[in-house]
A and B are shown apart, each in its own frame.
Chain A
Amino acid sequence: MEHQTKSEQVRSKGRRISWVVNSILLLGFLGTLFYGLTVYAFGTEQERSDSEGRMLAQRPEPSVETVLDGSYMEEFETAANDQVFERNLWIETQAWVQRNVLQQQMNNGVISIDEFLYAPDANESQYSSLGAFFKEFKQEMDDAGIPSYFASAPSKPVYAERQHVFPDYVESADAENRDELHARVEENGIPLIDLEDTLGDEPKEDVYFKTDHHWRAEGAFLAYGQIMNRLGEQFPDAPVLTAEDMDVKTVDGTFYGSHAREISMPYVESADTFTYLEPKDGFTTTVCRNGDDCGHGVLDKDVLTNTDDFTNYYNLFMGDNYALAKITQESPENDDHLLVLKDSYANPLLGYLGESFGTVSALDVRYFDDYDVSIAEYARENEVDAVLFLHNDRITGLGSMYQEGL
């Protein structure tokens, strides 16, 4: 009798343990599923992801047509993915597992080395379309009597490759690609201003952000000095800012740049401190964006009021990218007009150039297709005195856009 009681007790304990374990599994599994469903049914849709720097898809409205052709389902899936509960937490968990458990050193093409994030490119770039553009553009500028220059900043991977920062297993064709780009520029007779001459030996902390693919304002200022040294041959009277003229200012919040977004936070060892340079007496220029939106400064300090982790403080420089940004001095020191053909890399430098030239037109070929005139026509019609290409060495994708802009 006593033995039976003990057996019964043992079985009872076994059932209780089984009940508890089953309950935990049911609760964990079904709880997660139904929480997701509840958020979908009753939650508020998020409009934007700061960590991804983009607008999130919203739930679509169905129609007979979109349901039958399947496009409703596609849009619904996109919205479901974007609106999934705790999206950032899931993404960061995956990156954490990938880095710490699966020991994957790179994520989305970005690698973290000594607190700096790099996106090396293993592929050889093709510059044939850029080369063809350079040839034709140079001819047009020569015909118009407008000198052109190509200022080439070293991208962060090129700097890293030259400094042997990458481990042996990381493939990078960046330095090779840079040399190839320079060959295309020079073989078409465009004077090259190789900014690596100035920046190549500077400490990387002074030139590049840790978490962004752009250069810092300080790096851009050093490059400005080299550019003005070269342009000074044509514009000997253009005033040139020196380090003594500038104040270095630091933004309060931390800065996580484009590479931090790509690689995800578990790979990011430290944030950037965002600094910018401003003349001691302030900038003396105003900016017109896309022709008629005038009265802006070269520094758009509205962005500094946002303190979210993923605020893109780089937009401080010029506010953003525009097809055409025209910088004019309020009290022109000269009537020289410089046309800069650029992408976002040039933005910190444009403000400095604005202090040296009466007018600086900055034309971003990525957005210029809305304009009716070609680049060359713009240069001729606006009596440009010189054209300056200002990019880093990762512009293979711009070749076709420049050709369309001819």
Chain B
Amino acid sequence: MLFSSTVFLFYFLPAVLLLYFVSPRWLKNTILLIASLFFYAWGEPRFVLIMLASIVMNYTFGFMVDKYRNDAKKIKWTMTLMLLGNLGMLGVFKYASFFVENVNSVFGFSLNDPDIPLPLGISFFTFQAMSYVIDVYRNDGRLQKNLFDLALYVSFFPQLIAGPIVRYQTVADEIVDRRETVDDFVSGIQRFVIGLGKKMILANSCGYVADQVFSQSAGDLSTTLAWIGIIAYSLQIYFDFSGYSDMAIGLGRMFGFHFLENFNYPYISKSVSEFWRRWHISLGSWFRDYVYIPLGGNRQGPWKTYRNLTIVWLLTGVWHGASWTFIAWGLYYGVFIMFERAFLGKWIASWPAWLAHAFTLFVVVIGWVFFRADDFPYAIAYLQVMFGLHGGELFDQTAYFYLVQYGTVLLLAVIAATPLPKRVVAHFLRHEVNTERPILAASAGLARAAYILLIFGISISYVVSSTFNPFIYFRF
């Protein structure tokens, strides 16, 4: 079930809110757990069992870790088993086909593709479950003795499908003791609506352009059209993902949970390292805290630092998908981050801000070509078109069409990817707290409410319109 669907907006969410807020405190977590399992089962009923298996497995590991934490040998075995269990599950469901395909290709075997369907959100809930066991091991979070509360942490529907990856220590206290307030609820509404607007109005429009461009053979594109396509994709992936994170954070807040931020205007970064501090923050911090630092981080000299960075960025690529293009995309960033650490960072810091910004955007946009392309040959051919190396046109009528038809929405998306709109809104809404001038304060408050409800209405119109399906009998 998607947040941006009529089923979620008009059936699931109001029903869950109603049940949750009329329930006594002792029943609230149960309501949320049942709702979360229903939410997950709605899309893939059979995969609920896999998620439940993951929950029970990590619940058990939690107890084992707590029991054996002072026994060096046993705790080592427990943690190894925990890693094998979680990564094994992820490996089987996400990477088995990729593995078989490559083994066949390298060794000339003809092993059958296991063709195992990918359970929705498995990368997210597996990482969350691992975070629980590791946090218990490190005493960063207390052992969860209540299986249902742990199940709620892993399966909580706002962040189940697309993150953010909520660390156990972030919500451990709120799972057992939280307070829902009107201010939090209203703030959650605002955050949810902004996220829905990002997804429906900006991401989907940009996504349509990107899909149209990337569905064509690279050789048929003009240079301008290739740039339009990748810029549209860069905007789509940001607004899609950050919009979903906003909705998750907003929904969490409605139920009294406070998730950490996942995006912080990544496209205004002035270095690649900064970009990754602003992009998918929950994943970056997960790898930093659970992989990079345990490997030694940057404390064991430059070569081990580079080794650690290579491992982290290789895993980052692999986490995103079972494809060499994702692995290349991860390593691409790893290389830039190592260069920045070695010499490029200091050099970039001496550049004018606009140049550092342009350079970073350039690197990021090129990286998205690998992320979006189905395979390497297409990615390389696409890059050739972007740089005019294909011998084709610089500009064509199709590019002209996309500029006219989607120019406004692309421009709006570019502006919305910067903090400018937030600053402008904040500038006008600052009067809301000016209680010395109540009329001005009331006007600002009402403007805020109107703005949010307007975005909500337009977003719903986009949700419903996405199902518009006029029956035009054969058009001949």
Contact residues of A with B, CB < 8 Å? 10-11, 13-14, 17-18, 20-22, 24-26, 28-30, 32-34, 36-37, 39-40, 51-54, 67-70, 73, 76-77, 80-82, 84-85, 87, 90-91, 93-95, 97, 101-106, 108, 119, 122, 167-171, 213, 258, 261-262, 264, 321, 343-345, 366, 391-392, 394-395, 397-398
Contacts and interface: CB of A to CB of B under 8 A. Distances in A.
B445 A36 contact: no
A10 B476 contact: no
B470 A108 contact: yes
A391 B476 contact: yes
A91 B456 contact: no
> Is the interface on chain B under 10, 10 to 19, 20 to 34, or 35 or more residues?
35 or more
Nearest to A38: B14
Given A33-B14, A102-B408, 7 more contacts: A17-B445, A21-B449, A36-B6, A37-B15, A68-B45, A87-B464, A171-B398
Interface in B16-75: 17-18, 42-46
A161 to B, nearest CB: 13
Given A67-B45, A394-B475, A33 B17 contact: yes
B432 interface: yes
Interface of B: 5-7, 9-11, 13-15, 17-18, 42-46, 182-183, 185-186, 189-190, 193, 201, 205, 397-398, 400-401, 403-409, 412, 432-433, 435-436, 438, 441-442, 445-446, 448-449, 452-453, 456-458, 460-465, 467-476
Given A21-B446, A73-B42, A95-B465, A36 B475 contact: no
Given A25-B453, A343-B474, A171 B401 contact: yes
Given A30-B14, A102-B412, A398 B476 contact: yes
Contact of B471 (A54, A70, A77): A54
Contacts of B456: 28-29, 32
5 contacts: A20-B445, A26-B186, A52-B468, A80-B5, A119-B475
A91 B463 CA distance: 9
Given A103-B408, A171-B398, A395-B476, A28 B449 contact: yes
Given A33-B17, A70-B44, A80-B6, A94 B465 contact: yes
B406 A81 contact: no
Given A37-B15, A392-B476, A80 B446 contact: no
Given A33-B13, A40-B11, A94-B465, A21 B448 contact: yes
B435 A17 contact: yes
A28 B453 contact: yes
Q: Is the interface of B mostly helix, strand, loop or mixed?
A: helix
A345 B458 contact: no
B436 A10 contact: yes
Contact of A169 (B46, B401, B452, B474): B401
Contacts of A70: 43-45
B13 to A, nearest CB: 6
Nearest to A96: B461
A167 B463 CA distance: 31
Contacts of B448: 21
B317 to A, nearest CB: 31
Contacts of A87: 464
A29 B183 CA distance: 14
B185 A26 contact: yes
Nearest to A68: B45
B104 to A, nearest CB: 31
Q: Select the residue from B44, B183, B464 with max chain A CB neighbours within 10 A.
A: B464
Contacts of B432: 17, 21
B470 A94 contact: no
Contacts of B7: 76-77, 80
Nearest to B182: A22
Contacts of B412: 102
A211 to B, nearest CB: 12
Contacts of B461: 90-91, 93-94, 97
Contacts of B401: 169-171
A31 to B, nearest CB: 10
A26 B456 CA distance: 12
B183 A22 contact: yes
A25 B449 contact: yes
A33 to B, nearest CB: 4
B449 to A, nearest CB: 4
Contact of B406 (A76, A93, A95, A104): A104
A80 B6 CA distance: 6
A106 B209 CA distance: 13
Contact of B464 (A84, A343, A398): A84
B475 to A, nearest CB: 6
B404 A105 contact: yes
A356 B14 CA distance: 65
A91 B465 contact: yes
A73 B43 contact: yes
Contacts of A119: 475
Contacts of A81: 5-6, 464, 467
A343 B474 CA distance: 9
A67 B42 CA distance: 9
A25 B190 contact: yes
Given A28-B453, A70-B43, A321-B473, A90 B460 contact: yes
Nearest to B42: A73
B41 to A, nearest CB: 9
A393 B476 CA distance: 7
Contact of A168 (B46, B400, B433): B400
A344 B45 contact: no
Contacts of A18: 445
Nearest to A398: B476
B39 to A, nearest CB: 11
B446 A24 contact: yes
B468 A91 contact: yes
A258 B190 contact: no
Contact of A344 (B185, B205, B470, B473): B473
Nearest to A22: B186
A13 B17 contact: no
A11 B407 CA distance: 46
Nearest to A18: B445
B459 to A, nearest CB: 10
A40 B468 CA distance: 19
A111 to B, nearest CB: 9
Contacts of A76: 7
B397 A25 contact: no
B472 A168 contact: no
A78 to B, nearest CB: 8
B460 A102 contact: no
Given A20-B442, A24-B446, A25-B190, A14 B435 contact: yes
A97 B458 contact: yes
Nearest to B192: A29
Contacts of B190: 25
Nearest to A105: B405
Nearest to A396: B476
Contacts of A25: 186, 189-190, 449, 452-453
A93 B193 CA distance: 17
A344 B453 contact: no
Shortest 7 CB-CB contacts between residues of A and residues of B: A36-B10, A54-B471, A21-B445, A81-B467, A90-B464, A14-B435, A94-B465
B470 A53 contact: yes
A80 B46 contact: no
Contacts of B476: 343-345, 391-392, 394-395, 397-398
